[in-house]
Structure 1
């Protein structure tokens, strides 16, 4: 018995020793005394069984794998910090394979040279779906805003209205430290946040919260901006106010205030002006506008019409506990716009071309509320919950008085006028829920999502149509309609995604999504053709229609993630059922389609600044109720529209290739993107030529499904910086080809639309007191039709711009903006506006916190909006009024104060988007 007991003890000791010899993973993070992470540090681990060396990454993290001993010594050295040596004797539980050392603090070395700063991070960092720019690498003047910084970033453009594009794609949302700022509103963030507040600017292709958690990317991403705040700027406040008055009764007033206290951020913004300066670019119903009015600039002169804007917004963010983060915003905006349009429309028929010349004067007013909130609950280290309720409510009214003249193949057909009056209200509510569970086994993950929304709109419209046929000009036909459209849309979407690891670098991902969409449309039409008669219900034009669109999407993907590359390949199956019920007519339709499609994504990282990404995705799109309901809408009697209840859902396929390359040594940047899109069962129009002398109808629009629609789009950007970024030369170009399909009197027509553009820009800043940005661009737009060549067109536009800012003393500056367009190929537009803006500014007080500015807008009084659009068998040339010449005197005062250390955990850094919902990057639990 004694020998048996000794044998048991000996076996246990051997097992314990064997367990201790299982390979370990040792990790930690380096920070300095202020909490700033230390990157590029040399970290050496020495034990009786190991001697290994590594460096800390962009977040100060270091990791050693396959360590055989839990007793070791670390030697750490970094430029600007005192070297340290630290011994560790760690105890681990049986089966434990990961040891975390936590934060290791490095003391600064007082002997470092103050004039020399060495930073291992490149100006532009490329990481899969994210481009990161270091904000302090770009030369800016004092008091510059985030918008001024964006204008200097390679591949990023900001137009005159403040709209931002990156690599040829529009920015739709802005976040600050990974959280939506004012609901993601772009102009609010870019035109209010000071540039010296920012540490990094990140351009992210965001696939949604679930993708940010699981790493599973599906569908088309949203391109967003994320601003990360400097560590020494997360405690303090910003205040900025502007008041101004000008001739022609122009006025503006705005105030922005924000308080930062580590995790808590509170911001408020108010705006009042009649200079088209719409700060809230995403507020429902406000539309248009933009520009620099909020900061005493040139207003929104490039927006169509004349607009009065009143808006107020509040933004909140806080960490209620170590586990709960809350953030959201509320905004209210009122907008009144008057726009005069002159449009020339060419409508292609089989053997003829219909020309419609229209003059309209429209007044639109709306009031909108928007509220959104987010609660993120880190239940524990394995479970995460995010709930996002949103609510909006908009009301509007519009008056549109127009006259028209229609020619049929250059022969007068009819003329008349239309008076249109409408009012509407639209309440919308939605809630999104995301739950994620990480299993204890590494890389095993389950994500569950639920989205519930209910949207409705009620629109009352009154139209009067006076029409005279050219064949009988003395007989004016009259039609008056009272139309009520009561629409509702209830949507439920449920999904889950499960990751199962097969190895350290490979795994399987299963996903499923159920989508139920129930849409109701109750359309009531009262009509009369006698001015002295009260309209009565028209049963032929009224209808109550309801349809449901249900999809079940199943997916299986094999995913591999290596140090240099990652890829996923898989297959998806999506059956969809579309059921329509015309209650008034007593008819029911039902269509069922099963789509089977591959999925794939490949990413190869040549270096931290060079990367290649290929991606394919597919998804179905449902028809709208206007396309489905089996009644005729003849609110425009000359061009009635009839729905088709037998339509099937479209299925859209997208293939995309993207390559990014930034060379820090040469200052050279190159971005390119090519995408191919084709749609199966594309919903297109079928225009039927009719001749109805009673009401002057010319053609009816119907809908059907067809194949053959595809589009190819290419974009590139190249820039080269010279002489320490004092001169930067940039080229940007795009090529877009759309093979659009339509039917004309049941005959198939292919409209081949090609748009080529090229832009050259030079940024010149040889001295601190001088900034000059000249640019020139050319666009070529050609449209060819296979059925009838008579509507073919070629439109060319040369555009020249010049921006400058000159400080001729330390506190006096003069700025200019000039834009000249040269258009050719238009049939009805002959204007080539030359817009010149200028301002003279005097800065006051310590730190130049006050500024008095005299601005002159459109000195030559030539501001006019011009556009050319092509859609299947219709081409439209449009000319509209814009805010013309005026002068304004504004005074701006700002007070900023910041202090404090970095007490916030980085939220959008490389590898730290696990629970933040910030988009991009490699989340925990993904391969």
Structure 2
């Protein structure tokens, strides 16, 4: 704490010097013809005596035409105002005091010869607007049928993985909006994959504050990396989309499409996706905690989840998905957005999982082969209502309802051994499971703004109810090897596991201006979370599962009560220079009660001070820096606390731990951004440092002989008991750097990236502490073409060097290298013929035996566009032309290293027909009959050029 206080005092002293310049220029920009506000006009300040016109400060006018530039010393300046379609306005200004109000400035539109429509692109490819990085879509050329996802792949600092995960400036994008409005809730992939690139005007990348933080203006640390897609003004009234259908060899098929109907503020979008070729245009949500990303390690999985796992699950999936999104502004005061989405997936997977668990006297190895079939159904309903009661009062209501049904059947062969001739046990396990659950959330917020600017009062109420019920039937045969003897064991059991819980929380926050540039926030947040978990186990009696086993059954209640109060101060001369700091005091009570089979309780009390600080400074028009620090706590889930033993797999037994404590985390991040709009060069650098006390991890106990772990429950020799525990010593460091510049002779943009990740992962094996130090070095480059819509290519290379150093009973190292090279080449001629190639080379070295791979995945297509305006397309495509497709994932933890190989699609051919609709309205005619540009869209015949909006 003393070090933190010293740092804050240092930052305050530095920033106070920065804010010593107190001159302010403000004004109102109106259209000279109709007195309408002119929004997003550029306002730049120069020194009057500087003939080079070096920019001192700049800003944009807001929606009402207002602008304000602060932090100016007393001097004579020139103010330059410009916007597309208007004559440039230059005016001398002399600053002699704290405020210079220019009043109303009238902006005159440019005259132009309407006999010829000339559209000139002046927008820079990338620019920094405050804390937002803005990309001009017109400066990046893609094929006419490209999606927004294809478009952003060409933008510096943004990458899209093969599984659809979008990373911007080193952070995963969690939220995508269209013109500031939600699109299918929090599903970041839905908009990018289903919105055509030709309707995009700008891409904005920023840190989106939480809803509560947006009310107060104070960053509460819950911000996420977000992308806002700004559409062209001409599509405010139009219809666009595409429909497709295809059939191929091996009965492969794909059908679906998307349609959008825009009528001013009312927007309706419909999307559908039906295929058996692993196409997933949406994030898959997992409420029940039943889906995995690769590995097959059972036991120790904690709690229900409510997250999106982007991309396709391992294996081969058949998907049926449908969704509709609606947004509108009603009565000028009520904005409403809502969506419904249904997703059904049928997945088949055959996997091999090799695991090395750190142990004494020697490490334990296991090989697991699984054939699994799963069915998963999701229903998602999202809604957001924003009601501006009047100029001082606003109301927000944000409900969300999710349903999930899941069933699975799997056959697993598992072998555990110390060496080739030192087997411990093996099993054949047949398991059938069903789960169903739902999650209902609602967040209500109200804000009142007082007459004094900066003085606000806001209230929030959030409610959440979740239910997760299911059962599983295990029919398994086990063999245990002991000094040449083999012991057989048969297990036939039914497990019924039901959990439910609800949370009620509130928030009240008051902000008060302090001086000219300061603001104080006082807030209080209470919350009560109640969870119930009930597991019942029944053995097979020869006809049905009716023998109740009380030793493997448990009923458990958990209540978490928190009271959090804090005070924060923000010093803000402008959006370009801000400093905020504060602290919250949190009191928490964790009550755990077991009511069956033996009554017991655990009550824990925690009191913590949670400091936070943020500093952001714009050094120039090209560069800025942001530092952020936050302390937080994380509570264990009810499944981690429930002390029931799960014997569904006697070789890997799991149990909860009611003595778990909350973890305490420190997070420090730094971000530097440099963007030169004139040269189109950019640099993004990020550093993330995290430490955690009482880190929640899994302890593993490997039985050296048959051991009774609980009354009536025996752990056989070689079997593992997995149990969550609190461990100290977790640390992680992640850095990311990307540099972008144009290669004009090639009409190409090059993106260079590099990164380093370090993780210190504590573990506990047989009551002995282990430490895994994992070092990952990343490097890569991307060459993205910017030639024309007829020639489109992306060349990429990425290498990841992973070095894991394990300090357990003995020291060992494990090195692993993953290299990926890619080429996407699309060629199109003016008659509509096209050729597409997507080639990916993958190389794995350093994995467990049999999983080192070197392969190429080559997908290719040839086709023809036809019909009016080339609205129709017929395409013949081949997947995996070389028949080499593979899928391998490595997982490193503090207790084990795991390699997993999953089933993948093999070669198939497909013929697909696509019909595209582009109806953006007909261009208006001038009095002399010539076609004019309307609503920012180009006149017919202008396709392929770079319009500016």
The TM-score range, normalised by the shorter chain, is 0.7 to 0.9
Query: Are residues 527 and 127 of structure 1, via their aligned partners in 2, closer, same or farther at CA, if it must alter by over 3 Å?
Result: farther
Deviation, structure 1 residue 673: 0.5
User: Is 1:371 the counterpart of 2:371 in the alignment?
Assistant: no
* Aligned 8 A contact 1:378 1:384 in 2: yes
- Tell me: CA distance 1:754–1:24, structure 2 relative to 1, closer, same or farther (3 Å): closer
Whether 1:480 and 2:492 are equivalent positions in the alignment is yes
Q: Which residue of 2 aligns with 1:799?
A: 820
Alpha-carbon distance in 1 for matches of 2:478, 2:131: 55
Matches within 5 A, 1:649-688: 649-688=662-701
| Matched-pair contact (CA < 8 Å) for 2:631–2:666 | yes
CA-CA distance at 1:229 after TM superposition: 1.5
- By how many angstroms is 1:689 displaced? 2.9
In the alignment, which residue of structure 1 is the partner of 2:527? 515
Distance 1:825 1:142 in 2: 42
Whether 1:630 aligns to 2:643 is yes
* 1:756 shift after superposition: 1.4
Q: CA deviation at 1:820?
A: 1.3
Contact 2:31 2:37 in 1 (8 A): no
For residue 470 of structure 1, report the CA deviation from its aligned partner: 2.2
Does residue 205 of structure 1 match 2:207? yes
Which among 614, 617, 626 is matched to residue 601 of structure 1?
Answer: 614
Q: 1:30 to 1:561 in 2, by over 3 A?
A: farther
The structural deviation recorded for 1:427 is 1.6
- Check if 1:692 corresponds to 2:697: no
CA RMSD of aligned residues (A): 3.2
Structure 1 stretch displaced more, 57-66 or 767-776: 57-66
Query: Who is 2:878 aligned against?
Result: 856
Aligned to 1:192: 194
Write the distance in 2 (CA, Å) between the matches of 1:103 and 1:615: 39
Alignment of 1:78-117 (within 5 A): 80-81=85-86, 106-110=108-112, 117=120
Gaps of 5+ in 2: 1-23, 47-55, 71-78, 92-98, 294-309, 708-713, 925-932, 936-949
2:842 is equivalent to residue 821 of structure 1: yes
1:788 to 789, 804, 809: 809
Q: Give the aligned partner of residue 313 of structure 1.
A: 323
Q: Give the aligned partner of residue 358 of structure 1.
A: 368
1:104–1:258 CA distance, 2 compared to 1 (3 A): farther
Match of 2:4 in 1: none
Q: Report matched runs for 1:174-573 at 5 Å.
A: 174-284=176-286, 304-408=314-418, 410=420, 411-471=422-482, 475-527=487-539, 534-563=545-574, 564-573=576-585
C-alpha displacement at 1:333, in angstroms?
A: 1.6
Q: How big is the shift at 1:361?
A: 0.5
Q: Give 1:85 shift.
A: 13
Do the aligned partners of 1:234 and 1:261 also contact (CA within 8 Å) in 2?
A: yes
Matched-pair contact (CA < 8 Å) for 1:387–1:431:
yes
Compute the displacement of 1:78 (Å).
Answer: 6.5
Q: Secondary structure at the match of 1:381?
A: coil
Specify the alignment match of 1:881 in structure 2.
903
Deviations 1:11-35 (Å, cap 9, x if unpaired)? xxxxxxxxxxxx9975344598898
C-alpha separation in 1, matches of 2:82 and 2:883:
64
Matches within 5 A, 1:690-729: 690=703, 691-692=705-706, 696=716, 698-723=719-744, 726-729=747-750
Show CA shifts across 1:491-511 (max 9, x none). 112112221111121121112
Q: 3-state DSSP class of the match of 1:312? A: strand
Q: Classify the secondary structure of the residue corresponding to 1:776.
A: strand
State the distance in 1 between where 2:242 and 2:380 align: 24
Is 1:742 the counterpart of 2:754? The answer is: no
1:586 to 580, 592, 599: 599
- Distance in 2 (CA, whole Å) between partners of 1:117 and 1:865 is 47
Equivalent residues of 1:601, 1:616 under 8 A apart: yes
Q: Is the contact between residue 494 and residue 514 of structure 1 (CA under 8 Å) also seen in structure 2?
A: yes
- CA-to-aligned-CA distance 1:840-861 (integer Å, 9 cap, x gap): 0211123221111111100111
With over 3 angstroms needed to count, the CA separation of the structure-2 counterparts of 1:42 and 1:262, relative to structure 1, is: same
Distance 1:388 1:593, change over 3 A: same
Alpha-carbon distance in structure 2 between the residues aligned to 1:464 and 1:519: 30
Query: Any idea what the Cα deviations from partners look like across 1:497-551, whole Å, max 9, x if unmatched?
Result: 22111112112111222122111101111135x8678551111111110111122
The verdict on how the C-alpha distance between 1:214 and 1:876 changes in structure 2, with shifts beyond 3 A counting, is same
TM-aligned CA deviation for residue 235 of structure 1: 0.9
Could you tell me which runs of 5 or more consecutive residues in structure 1 were left unpaired when the two chains were aligned: 1-22, 45-52, 67-73, 87-96, 290-299, 905-927
- Is the 2:30–2:38 contact (alpha carbons within 8 Å) kept by the matching residues of 1? no
Indicate the structure whose relative CO is greater, using CA pairs within 8 Å and at least 6 residues apart.
1
Aligned-residue offset at 1:136: 1.4
Q: Report the alpha carbon displacement of residue 696 of structure 1 after superposing the two structures with TM.
A: 3.4
Residues 477 and 695, structure 1, Cα contact 8 Å, conserved in 2: no
Instruction: Return closer, same or farther for 1:166/1:853 CA change in 2, 3 Å cut-off.
Output: same
Q: 1:38 to 1:352 in 2, by over 3 A?
A: closer
For normalisation by structure 2, the TM-score amounts to 0.84
- Kept after mapping to 2: 8 A contact 1:54/1:62: no
In 2: Cα distance, 1:242 partner to 1:742 partner: 51
Contact 1:172–1:224, Cα closer than 8 Å, also in 2 = yes
Structure-2 change in CA distance of 1:247 and 1:541 (3 Å): same
1:252 counterpart SS class: strand
CA contact (8 A) 2:45 2:80 kept: yes
Question: Are 1:346 and 1:791, in contact at CA under 8 Å, matched by a contact in 2?
Answer: no
SS at match of 1:109: coil
Aligned partners of 1:374 and 1:614: how far apart in 2?
32
Q: Partner of 1:912 in structure 2?
A: none
